[in-house]
Amino acid sequence: MALVPMHQGLLLAGILFALGLVGLLVRRNVIFMLMSLEIMLNAAGLAFVVAGARWGQADGQIMFLFILTMAAAEVSVGLALVLKIYHRFKTLDSDAVSEMRG
Amino acid sequence: MEVVFYIAAIVAITSTILAITRLNAVHALLYLIVSLLSVAIVFFVMGAPFIAALEVIVYAGAIMVLFVFVVMMLNLGKKATDRERQWQRGSMWVGPSVLAAILIAEIAWLVSGPGNAVYGSTAIEPKQVGIVLFGPYLIGVELASMLLLGALVGAYHLGRRAPEKTEK
């Protein structure tokens, strides 16, 4: 279908992953950190699909399905935690919850 | 079709940059949805129409709607935006950006070497994906179902209002 060289697809995945990493490291709002995690998971899935398309196998798409499942599970638990943090600390600052009390 | 890939890739990178730099959570979410839709176009160009549809339905649909609902429930307001602006000074972006740029340069150097063939000319149909998914990867499907059940129970347990007698 497309005649795009493989390294350009992988490069797009790498750029998106790096952007997600920068967002995760810089932002302090917990919601933005979760969004950056989604960007990184999506970029990893993109790399799998690129590799699957390169060799014409369906395995890369299967891996993307598993990543999708994991992202959905992770984000549901993460957002429930965000609601809990906001109700307890009245803020979404990740520094506010950096100290654990047993 | 190559032009479609490049345009979608540029749109994806631009909207992702905008998504991680916005101060308002709803604006960032809308840019992120645009980014996911353009990645779906990339999947379609690469001959993965099933995954493109799933990207639109699950990622841009379900997961982002979950984010939007939580942002609506939190009602952050102007104070949180001001505080976030105070944290987002320009010097803060330098360190992580430089480190990530070094990593991306390494990846670019590694993958742009000789020996890169082009894609095959066939799309992988949903039927083929389904046959492989419920054949060799059946254990993975079962594990994914258990993971989703665990996430359901965990999210319910965390989001539940605490009973009266355990509050004090």
pTM higher than 0.80, yes or no?
Answer: yes
Residue B28 has pLDDT above 50, yes or no: yes
Residue of A3, A17, A22 to mutate for B, most B C-beta atoms under 10 A: A22
Residue of A36, A65, A70 to mutate for B, most B C-beta atoms under 10 A: A65
Q: Comparing A41 with B168, which gets the higher pLDDT?
A: A41
Residue tagged 């999506």 (tokens): A42
Question: Contact B20/A77, CB-based, under 8 Å?
Answer: no
Question: Contact A26/B73, CB-based, under 8 Å?
Answer: no
Q: What is the pLDDT of residue B165?
A: 58
Interface contact A39, partner B, CB < 8 A: yes
* Each residue's pLDDT tens digit, A69-82: 999 999 999 999 88
- Which pLDDT band, with edges at 50, 70 and 90, does A102 fall under? low
ipTM score for this prediction: 0.89
Question: Contact B28/A73, CB-based, under 8 Å?
Answer: no
Classified as helix, coil or strand, A93 is: strand
Q: What is the pLDDT of residue B121?
A: 52
Structure tokens given for B31: 């840019």
Interface contact A88, partner B, CB < 8 A: no
Residue A51 has pLDDT above 60, yes or no: yes
B133: nearest CB among A21, A31, A62: A62
Q: What is the pLDDT of residue A16?
A: 94
- Which pLDDT band, with edges at 50, 70 and 90, does A57 fall under? confident
CA distance A22 to A83: 24
CA distance A51 to A43: 13
CB of B51 closer than 8 Å to CB of B43: yes
Chain A, chain B: beta-carbon pairs less than 8 Å apart: 235
* Each residue's pLDDT tens digit, B82-121: 777 777 777 777 877 887 788 777 777 776 765 544 455 5
